[in-house]
Amino acid sequence: MRTLNCIVVMLIAFVTGDKALAQVTANSTVLKPQQTVYSKKHIGEKNPIPYANVREADVMWSKRVWRVINLKEKFNLPLYYPTAPIKDRKSLFDVLKDGALKDSTVTCFSPADDEFQIPLSKSEVEALLIQWDSAMIDNPENPGEQINVKVKNEITSEDITKYWIKEDWFFDKQRSVMDVRILGILVVTAKKTESGEIVGDKPLFWVYFPEIRPVLANNEVYMRHNDAERRSFDDIFWKRMFSSYIIKESNVYDRYIMDYAMGMDGLLEAEKIKEEIFEFEHDFWHY
Could you report the per-residue pLDDT of 78-106, keeping only the tens digit for each? Answer: 999 999 998 888 999 999 999 999 999 99
Helical H runs in 121-257? 122-129, 209-217, 233-238
Q: What is the mean pLDDT of residues 28-39?
A: 61
- Rounded to a whole number of angstroms, the CA Rg of the chain reads 29
> What count of Cα atoms within 13 Å lies in the side-chain half-sphere of residue 166?
17
Helical H runs in the chain? 2-27, 77-80, 92-101, 122-129, 209-217, 233-238, 263-282
Cis bond upstream, residue 82 (ω within 30): yes
Backbone dihedral angles phi then psi of residue 130, each to the nearest 5 degrees: -125, 125
Length of the chain, please? 287
Helix axes 122-129, 92-101, angle to 10 degrees: 140
Largest Cα–Cα distance of the chain, in whole Å?
112
- What is the rounded average pLDDT for all residues in the chain? 84
> What count of Cα atoms within 13 Å lies in the side-chain half-sphere of residue 12?
6
Helix (H, G, I), strand (E, B) or coil at 146: strand
Q: What is the pLDDT of residue 37?
A: 67
Report d(CA 141, CA 114) in Å as an integer. Answer: 51
Q: What is the pLDDT of residue 3?
A: 58
For a pLDDT cut of 70, what percent of the chain falls above it? Answer: 82
Higher pLDDT, 40 or 115: 115
Q: What is the mean pLDDT of residues 199-219?
A: 94
Q: What is the pLDDT of residue 24?
A: 43
Q: What is the mean pLDDT of residues 239-263?
A: 94
